[in-house]
Structure 1
Amino acid sequence: MQTIKKQGVLLANLGTPQAPTPTEVKRFLSEFLHDQRVVDLSPWKWYPILHCFILPRRSPRVAKLYESIWMDEGSPLMVYSLRQREKLKNLTGLPVEVGMTYGQPSLSAGLEKLQQQGVEEVIVLPLYPQYSSSTTAAVFDGLAKALKTIPTIPEIKFIRDYYNHPLYIQALANSVRDSWNTKGKGDLLVCSYHGIPKRYADNGDIYPQHCTETTRLLAQELGLDEDKVLMTYQSQFGKEEWLQPYTDKTMESLPEKGIKKIDILCPAFSVDCLETLEEIAGENKELFLEAGGEVFNYIPCLNADDAHIEMMKALVYDPR
């Protein structure tokens, strides 16, 4: 008779500073920007630039941005991730832990907590709907590194992506409909995805194809014509070309085309964080309104919404 292994879930996300201070932000950014999945330049060239210029200059500025969105319970990314953990745990009855690729709690700490609860089979769910080598693959790398220190490794099931999962698309569509019902419908629905250098896509990263398909399926679910949905990319870093169109440039150009009221969401983000709350709902809203826009309606991430947790449950019980 086959023994049924005890299962547990590791929810993996990027991570966040422990506090909105220059010291903690510098520590976090240093770990993040040392990962060659994120910046694939030669360390001999990149590390001097990183340590002499980027970290000293960027950390204080980014700390102020984090301070502007910090919640009473902590960083929004961590607060919502922990809420996801609790709701998924209650819904499935399985042990569920959170592990971050950078910062704390680490992937290693998450695995250790699951093993302490007797888990023998870990279902790893990176909370990146669309696969990218800079995010999902970085989780896999971190997981492999963490497993090196474990005497008896658990069985691993790794969920690579869910960009086209019907329950994910439905959850996104429901969030848009809820917004329309309470705030009205804009002239255009903008889907802003986190960008990656164009070079990554040219070298085989399938991220842009996943983003395109998510946008197409969402528009289909909402019954929107092609000209009523726009896909953009945000958060470009450095001087090289990233995936386009850029969200910020788009916000500056839409009003002159007669589009004065927009709804905008960030389908690549599982939880609200600096890139959604400050960059989109703050900075890009300003750009749009200053360019002559009238209504900028940011639609929050799915966070710990019940439909989102139901989708996670479906992935856990039937990893694709």
Structure 2
Amino acid sequence: MLDAKPQTTSAGCPVHMDQPGEGRLEFAQADHPPVPQAKIGVLIANLGTPDNYDYWSMRRYLNEFLSDKRVVDYPAYLWQPLLQLIILTKRPFTSGANYKSIWNHEKNESPLLTITKDQTAALADQIAKRIDGDIMVDFCMRYGNPSTKSKVDEMVKAGCDRILFFPLYPHYAGATSATACDQFFRALMEQKWQPSARTVAPYFDHPAYIKSLADSVRHAYDAMDEKPEVLVASYHGMPKRYLLEGDPYHCQCQKTTRLLREELGWEEDKVQSTFQSVFGREEWLRPYTVDHVADLARQGVKRLAVIAPAFSADCIETLEEINEEIRESFEDAGGEQFTYIPCLNDDASHIAALTDVIEANLQGWTA
């Protein structure tokens, strides 16, 4: 039996519930459309994923990604001919092969999509336990599916009059956090009745996040008979020019490494920052991970561990690039034991840390 107690819309108008989540305005005319019960939306966002690893799926995905001016800011008249005629002719084959090597064939989806679904379910469970109120938790991707627009549409139709948008990037960068927020705001522009909106700030130095990173390192080391001599914190790279133009990403990454080292209680040379995924001829943030691990091996380091603090979920850059390409670089240079420490993914401590961040950002919207 439905609760007969009047609910309210975001404007404070009384609503009588005809069915779960939907009702009639108390003073509306008979032909007024049903009004959803007001609720809060928490929309987490990650980078994105191709729908499959075949040529055309990869080409669509790469075209959307590499056409983003936040990612590649060269003038379109120079960049687009190169992208469309050369890069998107060849790269879908190599990228598709890389995705195929890590693909979740059982569910026919990328590992990033699988993990993000698991994170969303775990966050929804924790939020329901810790925060009072009707809160809808979902996820979107900046590139590929499910799109940001589609999820904003779903939340608004479900009655979300307030949406907390949470890009799952611990560190701010124009090419990650900013472009995700850009897409969220574009989606809001298409709404007839825009919900109130908040975006979550970077959490690269949040104590619970740092502790989760440190615990993942301790857990990995405890399982090994011979401990690694050096821990490399490998962050996704960006052109050095972006740093000089004011992007704070590099500084935030360095702080995470320092806080991680302090949490572990290790000496400074035992935890080192590097940057991966270099693209094009422009100089990027250094040192480059693929070169640095080889240098360490040539300097006599035989046992090495790599962690990827900038990634909230394992993806092509960690499962293929770090655990295959960067591992190979270390071993070819004489390294003997390479350990990749997985991303925090849906680990309980990670979910608890993310829930802490969400709870703080919902202040004033929840009781």
TM-score by length of 1: 0.97
Tell whether 2:216 aligns with 1:216: no
Count how many residue pairs are aligned between Structure 1 and Structure 2. Answer: 320
Which structure carries more relative contact order (alpha carbon 8 Å, separation 6+)? 1
Match of 2:123 among 76, 88, 99: 88
Partner in structure 2 of residue 47 of structure 1: 80
Tell whether 2:144 aligns with 1:111: no
Deviation at 1:285, TM superposition (A): 0.5
Q: Amino acid of the residue matched to residue 123 of structure 2?
A: L
Match of 1:154 among 170, 195, 198: 195
Q: Amino acid of the residue matched to residue 89 of structure 1?
A: A
Partner in structure 1 of residue 329 of structure 2: 287
Q: Amino acid of the residue matched to residue 9 of structure 1?
A: V
Q: Is the 8 A contact 1:198 1:242 kept in 2?
A: yes
Tell whether 2:286 aligns with 1:244: yes
CA displacement 1:54-90 (0-9 Å, x = unmatched): 1111111100000000012210010000000111111
Is the partner of 2:242 in helix, strand or coil? helix
Tell whether 2:272 aligns with 1:230: yes
Tell whether 2:242 aligns with 1:200: yes
Partner in structure 2 of residue 255 of structure 1: 297
Moved over 4 A (4+): 1-5
Q: How does 1:106-185 map to 2 (within 5 A)?
A: 106-184=147-225, 185=227
Tell whether 2:143 aligns with 1:102: yes
Deviation at 1:204, TM superposition (A): 0.4
Q: Is the 8 A contact 1:76 1:272 kept in 2?
A: yes
Structure 2 gap ranges (5+): 1-7, 13-36, 129-134, 363-367
What is the percent sequence identity of the aligned residues? 42
- Distance in 2 of aligned mates of 1:167 and 1:293: 33
Tell whether 2:106 aligns with 1:64: no
| Higher Rg | 2
- Distance in 1 of aligned mates of 2:291 and 2:66: 25
Deviation at 1:157, TM superposition (A): 1.2
CA displacement 1:248-270 (0-9 Å, x = unmatched): 00121111211110111100001
Deviates more, 1:103-112 or 1:42-51: 103-112
Structure 1 gap ranges (5+): none
Deviation at 1:283, TM superposition (A): 0.8
- Distance in 2 of aligned mates of 1:19 and 1:7: 33
Match of 1:27 among 56, 60, 74: 60
Q: Is the 8 A contact 1:234 1:246 kept in 2?
A: yes
